[in-house]
Amino acid sequence: MNSTSYRYMDTAPYWAGFREKRLVLQVCKDTGRFQHVPRPISIYTGSRNLDWREVSGRGTLLSWTVPRVALPDAPTTPIDRVQALIDLDEDVRLLALVAGTGPGSLTVGQRVRIDWSYSELFPNVPVFVPD
């Protein structure tokens, strides 16, 4: 196997899940544990024995921040968006947007769930809301 074969990794199931409004993550078939971000080897065993599975989209809010960003079509009107670390029920952590509430009403340990209806502003991106 040459070095270029290590550079390619098929992430199509991950992106197809977004199009279908499903959160699909990599799972190590040796341990049954999920990992995110997608990578060519298991972070638990170093093997390539990986698969893709849909996860519940439910979890717990660990931390968050509110960067001020301007939208491309309105660069002078910044918007607030909450970026958060979410610990999914499947024991995997991901960075995601939180919508449906202001940062002042969030609490560490708060339950959240995925809600694709909020992703109209950010197409094909999972957005979490308070559960």
Q: Quick: pLDDT tens for 19-29.
A: 899 999 999 99
Q: Is residue 94 located within the same domain as residue 116?
A: yes
Q: Is residue 62 located within the same domain as residue 50?
A: no
Q: Is residue 67 located within the same domain as residue 44?
A: no
- CA separation for the pair 61, 10 (Å, rounded): 29
Q: Is residue 49 located within the same domain as residue 71?
A: no
Is pLDDT of 17 > 50? Answer: yes
- CA separation for the pair 91, 121 (Å, rounded): 28
Q: Which domain holds residue 49?
A: 3-54
Range 45-71 average pLDDT? 90
What tens digit of pLDDT does each residue of 26-46 get? 999 999 999 999 999 999 999
Range 111-127 average pLDDT? 78
Q: Is residue 48 located within the same domain as residue 66?
A: no
Q: Is residue 86 located within the same domain as residue 122?
A: yes
Number of domains in the chain: 2
- CA separation for the pair 117, 30 (Å, rounded): 35
Model confidence band, residue 8 (pLDDT cutoffs 50, 70, 90): low
Q: What is the pTM of this model?
A: 0.80
Q: Is residue 40 located within the same domain as residue 68?
A: no
What is the share, in percent, of the chain residues with pLDDT greater than 90? Answer: 55
Q: Is residue 63 located within the same domain as residue 109?
A: yes
What does the pLDDT read at residue 78?
54
Q: Domain ends where: 30, 54, 78?
A: 54
